[in-house]
Amino acid sequence: MLRRLFYRPWRAVRLALLAAALPAVASTQQAVVSAKPASLPLKFGQPDLGDFDAKNFVADSGAAAVILCDYGNSQFSSTAGNMVITTERTTRLKILKKAGYDYATVEVPLYHRDERAEKLSRLQGFTYLRGADGTITKTKLEATNTFEEKRTKNLLVRKFTLPNVQEGAVIEYSYVVTSTFFDNYQPWTFQHDIPTRWSEYRTSIPQVYHYKILFQGYLPLATNEVSVGSVSLLLTNRLSEGAGAGVGMAVGNMGVQMSTEQHRWVVRNAPAFREEPYSTTPNDYLARLTFELAGTQMPDEEYRDLTDSWTKKNKALLESEQFGQALANGKFLAAEVQPLVAKYPDPAPRAAAVRDLVVQAVKYDGTNTFWASGPLKRSYEQHRGTAADVNLLLIAALREAGLSAEPVLLSTRRHGAVSKEFPLLEQFNYVVAVVALPDGKELLLDATEPLLPAGTLPTRCLTQSGHTVPAAGEGRWVSLVPNQRHSHYQEINLAVDAQGNLSGKVHEEHGGYAGLEVREKLQQLGEKKYVTELAARHPSWEVSSYVFAKQNTVEQSLGLTYEWRQPAATAALATELYLTPLNYFGERRNPFQHADRNYPVDLGMMQQDIIRVTLTLPPGYVAELPKPVTLALPNNGGRYMYAATSPTPGTVQLVSRLTFDKPVYSAVEYGALRELYRLLLAKQAEALVIKKAG
């Protein structure tokens, strides 16, 4: 039997794991080993004495707790004549600070569906403390410290809290989860928000079951082994369909022995996961394993393919009352839409007008899903709905307007990236529209955000790729990378007198996604408070007037013009003045604070920030111009340009231009990004020296 291990598409390496022999040449490659099992990484109830010595945790001084060992073992077995998957987990932690007490509360998710449910058993735990005399005492976890919480319709969470937790304590717990959901094989996460010294996961799967195994993340596997073993099962014989009324009746037990494929994965010294600026959801970056049941092949039977195709998935979607059937019931929109057909003969303006109609008619309630909550007419009449209600209404209206519109499934940034390897609807949580235009181009449309123009998706939707749901066939992947940038332009005219009093006029243009940010803030604060907050960043500023432009014209850049002055610290005439005008209007802090980063920088869109300052000097003064600089990112990823000139006597012009030409930068490019920002900030902080001539 062959089984493959895939790295998620955003990982640089894809690895095939086969049951045949492979050379063990790198930590990310698989080694085929003998069937003799490796020794266990820890023994429950026997903490290491070294775990109580503070000197062994100096490197983790910034952490609230440390996972010393996290060990899991999932295998098929038999219970009461039925085949089940049992997963045993044993975890040991060291509590370093009071902030780490929360790690003594553990959640175990248990899935249930119809009459079947995963079960938790053999729960045990201890808290260990070492006294001043070196004596180690332990406190047992009692059953009264456990409770249940219903998280969703199909998910129950069992919680328990280890007792007597203190700084310096070592805690450990162990439990078993039993499951009959073979299509929901237990996943494993190697990395967490605290350091993990050792994380190991073992699986033993009968070779009649074929799983596709996905490894994702940016940490190397210290161990990646496969071997062949066996399992003995005691299963109940039941009467088959030909038994009439006796179908399913138990008629004795039989012993079955099956060959198994056994895997062992280890990640060592995983650092605490840091959530950084310009990222999506942690699950996109954490080192973890997931499993998908691809098929089965019982003895003397043909292989049974259990994987779906996009054709099957799309057909099921279109037949669903919450998706395709909802779309088919859009005739009630005809009276509203038909006038737009005559008014806008060109498809692109017509699509924009239809979108505007839906935006005005139905307000997005903040719920992200691709399933309609009910009939679309109800949402239309209630003027409120989920993302699916709003955008399925949009698609239905576009079709009523004679436009070729298809749904596009996508996953929002906080929901996580999608894998193109498998047609899994669970990966998605949102739907938008794509409209085919006569010139061969396409228009992506979303009607949930009134502060964006047609053809610009909300920021939450910028996750690289989405998948269409056509009337027939597989559909295709479409790019969600926007053409629109996050664009901020500032034109500043300043004058400085011989005392150092500054006054000037600033004109800002916020285009694309920068316009969305400012419009959202204006909607929240109002104009006056927005300007008050702007001035508050500069305590010595006095803003005398301001005016906004095109605030309600979302198709164009939002403008802001304001006048301000900054009084000098003293009334005396200065022989030398030192000004850093770009510091007033540019970046003040490097967003990339850490020396390294092991996952991508995801901006979502391309960006551009331009500052142009024209400074009028006092009569009789001259300026020493800083040197120009041009910095380029590798692979045409962007650049920073700084120039200082004197276009006319008595004036100085400073230009700062920062451009990011890619929406996503790899971890390898992080160092260049960080250095670019460091040099940019240094240049903007460089003083312009103004001296009295002669």
Task: Tell me how far apart the alpha carbons of residues 148 and 159 are, in angstroms, rounded to a whole number.
Answer: 6
- Identify residue 633 by its one-letter amino acid code: L
Q: Which helix (H) or strand (E) holds 578?
A: strand 576-579
Taking only the tens place, the pLDDT of each residue in 472-488 is: 999 999 999 999 999 99
In the chain, the percentage of residues whose pLDDT exceeds 90 is 75
pLDDT of residue 421: 83
Average confidence (pLDDT) over 232-239: 62
CATH number 3.10.620.30 is the correct assignment for the domain at 310-479: yes
Task: Report the alpha-carbon angle 51-54-55, nearest 5.
Answer: 100
Spatial distance between the Cα atoms of 266 and 269, rounded to a whole number of angstroms: 10
> 303 vs 656, which has greater pLDDT?
656
3-state SS assignment for residue 354: helix
Of residues 221, 219, 222, 198, the one with CA closest to residue 273: 219
CATH number of 486-692: 2.60.120.1130
The token pair that represents 356 in the structure block: 């505007």
Residue 244 has pLDDT above 60, yes or no: no
The residue to which tokens 């290491």 are assigned: 48
Task: Output the CA angle 49-52-58, nearest 5 degrees.
Answer: 125
Q: What is d(CA 650, CA 620) in angstroms, rounded to the nearest whole number?
A: 8
Cα–Cα distance for residue pair 10/281, rounded to 1 Å: 14
pLDDT of residue 29: 65
Query: Hey, which residues does 223 pair with through a beta bridge?
Result: 266
Q: Which fold has domain 5-40+57-305?
A: Immunoglobulin-like (2.60.40)
Say what the pLDDT of residue 251 is: 41
CA separation, residue 491 to residues 473, 504, 589 (Å):
52, 11, 21
Mean pLDDT, range 81-92, rounded to an integer: 92
- Highest-pLDDT range among 82-96, 254-268, 562-576: 82-96
* Phi–psi pair at 326, nearest 5 degrees: -65, -40
Q: Whole-angstrom Cα distance, residue 16 to residue 22?
A: 10
Strands 304-305 and 223-238, sheet pairing: unpaired
The tens digit of pLDDT for each residue in 336-379 reads 999 999 999 999 999 999 999 999 999 999 999 999 999 999 99
Q: Average of pLDDT values for 651-658? A: 96
Does the pLDDT at position 20 exceed 50?
no
User: SS3 letters for 494-531?
Assistant: EEECCCCCEEEEEEEEEEEHHHHHHHHHHHHHCHHHHH
- Residue range 368-391, pLDDT digits in tens: 999 999 999 999 999 999 999 999
**Mean pLDDT of all residues belonging to the chain:** 89
pLDDT of 28 > 60? The answer is no
Domain ranges of the chain: 5-40+57-305, 310-479, 486-692
pLDDT in tens, 554-591: 999 999 999 999 998 888 888 889 999 998 898 889 99
Exposure letters 211-235 (e unless 16+ CB within 10 A, then b): bbbbbbbbbebebbbbbebebebee
Per-residue exposure over 351-369, b if at least 16 CB sit within 10 Å of its own CB, e if not: bbbbbebbbebbebeeebe
Confidence of residue 14 (pLDDT cuts 50, 70, 90): very low
User: Quick one: average pLDDT of 186-213?
Assistant: 94
**DSSP 8-state class, residue 286:** S
Torsion of CA 581, 540, 523, 521, to 10 degrees: 50
Dist CA 477 CA 473 (whole Å) = 13
pLDDT at 332 exceeding the cut of 80: yes
pLDDT for res 651? 95
Q: Which structure tokens are listed for 232?
A: 């003995």
Q: How far apart are CA 684 and CA 589, in angstroms?
A: 11
Beta bridge partners of 468: 408
Q: Where are the beta strands (DSSP E) in 372-471?
A: 384-385, 405-410, 430-436, 442-445, 465-468
**Cβ–Cβ < 8 Å for 442, 398:** no
pLDDT category, 173, cuts 50, 70, 90? Answer: very high
The pTM for the full model equals 0.86
Which tens digits make up the pLDDT trace of 103-142?
A: 999 999 999 988 889 999 999 999 999 998 889 999 999 9
